[in-house]
Amino acid sequence: MSESAVAPAPSAQHGRLLAVPAVTGIAYTASWIAGLSVGAPSPALNADGAGIVAAFAGHETVTAAGFVLTEGLPAAGLAVISFYLARATRRSAASTAAGTAGLLAAAISLTQCVLGLVLAGSAEPGTAHLLYEAVNRLDGVKMFALAVLAVAGVASRLLPRWLAYAGVALAVSIAGSGVAYLLLIQGLAVLAYVSGVLLLLFVTATGVVLGRIGR
């Protein structure tokens, strides 16, 4: 039996490896869209405990699903994309920033998922308030980390010009969203609509770009 029949050709293995960030980027956005589509309640950032419990009452399943799809699964996506971005820009400040910020954002997102699952089944106003506040403030910290990830992506000079511009817009808008969530400023929460769309675009497109590098 020939060696080629025993093991895949190096080019085929290389192609599959390069496909990982592209598939991950697309899956990241798909998971987010699915999570938003389940219709989980979204109380105001500064809602009190009673209001939070009332909002989630009877919606425990969709709330849990929402947290898994918008925080749990995307955490893995952020880790993968940041790893490939750091690897593509190795031995540079951009590499260190991308790896550190991306893994921090992924860890925070996973923590939010766990807290969210507990929150979904919480019926005590005091506990619900603490959990909801923690999730939102962590979101603020995560947004700052994502702003750094976006800047690192732009600094890598691996991205096409249009995506670099999108990265700059993402960094600015998501930093503003981070202030809103960290300080629980409901009036600024609308910024998340802009930064959210830019984040999905940036992560997905960056994954596709990274998947094409070296082809």
Q: Which pLDDT score is estimated for 70?
A: 98
SS (H, E, C) 143-212: HHHHHHHHHHHHHCCCCCHHHHHHHHHHHHHHHHHHHHHHCCCHHHCCHHHHHHHHHHHHHHHHHHHHHH
In this structure, the number of other CB atoms found within 10 A of the CB of residue 190 comes to 11
**Where residue 90 falls among pLDDT bands split at 50, 70, 90?**
confident
Q: Is pLDDT at 5 greater than 80 in this prediction?
A: no
Average pLDDT over residues 138-148: 99
Q: Is pLDDT at 3 greater than 50 in this prediction?
A: no
Contact 158, 213 (CB under 8 A): yes
Q: Which pLDDT score is estimated for 207?
A: 97
Q: Is pLDDT at 79 greater than 90 in this prediction?
A: yes
**Best CA proximity match to 86, nearest among 176, 213, 172:** 213
**Where residue 18 falls among pLDDT bands split at 50, 70, 90?**
low
| pLDDT > 70: percent of the chain | 91
Q: Which pLDDT score is estimated for 7?
A: 47
Q: Which pLDDT score is estimated for 15?
A: 52
* 18 Cβ contact list (under 8 Å, min separation 6): 210, 211, 212, 213, 214, 215
Q: Which pLDDT score is estimated for 28?
A: 98
- What span, in angstroms and rounded, lies between the C-alpha atoms of 140 and 181? 5
- Domain boundaries defined on the chain: 9-209
pTM: 0.90
Average pLDDT over residues 163-191: 97
Question: Which residue has better confidence, 28 or 215?
Answer: 28
What is the overall mean pLDDT for the chain?
Answer: 92
Average pLDDT over residues 48-58: 96
Average pLDDT over residues 147-169: 97
Q: Which pLDDT score is estimated for 40?
A: 95
